[in-house]
Chains A and B, each alone.
Chain A
Amino acid sequence: MNKQIAIEMKGVTKTFGSVIANKNVDLEVYRGEILAVLGENGCGKTTLMNMIAGIYYPDAGSIFIDGKEASIHSPADAFSYGIGMIHQHFKLVDLFTAAENIILGNHSGEKYNISKVSAEVRAIADRYGFHIDPDKKIYDMSVSEKQTVEIIKVLYRGADILILDEPSAVLTPQETDRLFDVLRKMREDGKSIIIITHKLHEVLSISDRVAVLRKGEHIGTVNTAETTAEALTEMMVGRKVELNIDRPAPENVQDRLIVKNLSMTNLDGIKVLDNISFTARSGEILGIAGIAGSGQRELLESIAGLNPLDCGEIVFNRPKKNLPVSFYHKSLADVKALAAEGKFHYEDGSAVDFTGKTNAEIRALVNAGKVLFNEDDVMNLRDKTPLQIREVGVRLSFVPEDRLGMGLVGNMDIVDNMMLRSYRKGSSVFVDRKKPSDLADRIVKELEVATPNTHTAVRRLSGGNVQKVLVGREIAAAPVVLMAAYPVRGLDINSSYTIYNLLTEQKKNGVAVVFVGEDLDVLLELCDRIMVICAGKITGIVDGRTVTKEEVGLLMTKTDSDVKKEA
């Protein structure tokens, strides 16, 4: 290959305190190629790229650009070398328009003229096939539009080397395809593109070469055409990983959560959920597929008791008929009251009458399992707060999309975050710290959470580890219904499969699992049934074992007019 080298890194090392983020990395990038940097979470991919982009400065080693040694002390230095980075968390000022964000930090001597910038932005967009309105404010934009602004910002400044940190993590399959088309055009234009990712199928579809990092070290660089997903995974993890998700047949299936005609209007007056009806069954994983923002978040939040509904019912069904009464959920007084209402019967079918019996006799009868329920325990969770839902004995676990916003408190340590679920337990005025502390230790050990100790603030952990802490806590609450929204978003392969296995394990334990996912391949492998929603409406509930990816994809974009045509 007689291609020109754009960037060369030699012996680059970076440490944060006692943690080694990158150790002695040698890497080169050519002009006119797409290089994928692959590795698990916390392997130092982003740190390495941040050193090229001037966010960090290497402790040792050197970086050569076009054959000359470069010292990149700040993002401004990086720009002067023609390097631009598109971060995973967009660095945009919400209040500014696209054009204002693009011109930001540009110190060229020209007079400040925003309409001229807008015209230039349009020219760049046309050249590479972007769609963008330069005068639109960032807070009005979708995630994919924001990413476009980031890319144009870098191009506007004349970057020849583009670094994209997990560009597809927040995009739909269609948006990702469009992005990849643009990247290919840039490659033809002679630009060097570095993509940081952990999605293997993307690596294989877009990159020319793949550099694999593991624990801060550069394991090797291979040509994409000469490698396979399995080989890359092995390089990445250091051992063979089964890329199969175990999907046992559902056992002992019962209707657990019945949602009927649920509709909801959000604060802006837009109908985000429209007549949603479905049933989540125990021992089964129900997948929810749909383009981001189709109402998945609102649906789960409604069930969890966080959103007021316009109409509809959320019925929780606990099959109790002909099962023995226990004191686990009910006190003696409750049992007596229910008996007086005639809710119980004996094994032989005769009615239960506790009148004239002493408390000890009643206890003995109940504990012997002689008292049985007449009816299933059915309750409507609508308009109940999360606390009320818990108080009526429904163990509902919710892994929200916004991990550090709704799931965990970033500034608190792992133990304290465990206590968020248990602080009401116990009768003393002091909280019990022993059990949450044990639980935190167990989660750290069993889910292999990478953390110095359980007293580290959660926000200091990497995304995958935060998610493990959250999922671990929710599962530890022994749920009857487990709802998880995008639980593997931003996670590497190994962590993702850990999470999938945890969900499957819960399903085997008879939990009704509701899983909102974005990767259709995973949904098809993991879920027993898949419910597809589009713009707040259910467009289909299909069998996860027989349906194809294309069928689900079609349902995801089904519009009202399509539905009418069929009818």
Chain B
Amino acid sequence: MSWIRISWKNLLSKKMNFSMNVLLVAFGTSILTLLLLSSEQFKSKLSNNSRNIDLVVGAKGSPMQLILSSVYYVDFPTGNIPLKEANKLAAHPMVERAVPLALGDNYEGFRMAGTDSNFVILYGLELKEGKFWKAPFEVTVGSEVARNQGLQVGDVIHGAHGLSSSQDLHAERGYTVTGILKRKGNVTDNLVLTSVESIWNMHGGHDEEQDKELTALLIKYSSPMAVVMFPRMVNQTTAMQAASPAFESARLFTLTGIGMEVLRWFAILIMLIAGASIFISLYSSLQERKYDLAVMRVMGSSQEKIFLIVMMEGVLLTLIGSLVGVFLGHLSLQVVSHYQEMGQTRFEPWIFMKEEFLVLGGGLCLGLLASAIPAVQAYRSDISLILATH
């Protein structure tokens, strides 16, 4: 009979104690796992969605709001900018590519973006079926939009005014789905793409060139020198504002990071409480079991084996607790992603990260630490004295 089995049988003989300790460890580990998965995916989604966009130009207001609305599609735009002014910037020698964005409508909670073929190049979009939009009132939908709404090429859909509500429907004119995009794992999966002209036509009053407006311009620089000069030029010489996705994303991550840090310490505190609980239960059970251990020594067990049996109890407890916790962490993210707003890129709950081994390793170390003192005490116990005084 192996010493692991002896430890296991002993743990199982006190089911309530065993369950409580496993639950405590699992609770701490699940929070750590959830934080790890969500923060890493959040960070990766932030950088993935803003890749190839050096600068966003939009109406004056909060730069973070501009980035959130025009790059991540999660906030309201700061306003509109004149097409004429936007075209001037697009033609600037420091600009390699400028992608126009006209926002303001949604389809069943999914945002509609009026743009041109530069958007396709910017995100490297590919078609799963059909073709890209071309004429006004043609749309190409993201993979998640098609999946969620069961859309096929040729379907006609109706947009609604606003960014999430379906109440103010543009019932007078529909859009024809000409294509469905392949999944990219970024914001484009949740967008309905059409031409800028479609948005203008839908809202009317943009017949004159000087009346035409855009929501934002996504810019890629042609030269590294532009990093310093171009935003300053926009902010100082025009009525528009320039915001850097990299800078604002980092700021956003720092802001959300404070909350995550608090949660992380909370999880670590729970793990420490779990460690103390395991220590107390092993220590008190050692007092009850010292005669058991002495009898095992009489039967020929070495001191080392006794040490390992006690250590293994702590390790098994924390290993099981950590594994359950990692699973619960993923399950929690599944619940979170289920309730995420439809138009946003969802968390992927069943992606496993190698950092999760660190969480498991941390749990194991906790088990080793918590059982070390009881194990050493069991190792050193004087069996003759225990048997004589029992």
Q: A and B, one complex?
A: no
Which residues of B are at the interface with A, using a C-beta cutoff of 8 A?
none
Chain A residues near B (Cβ < 8 Å)? none
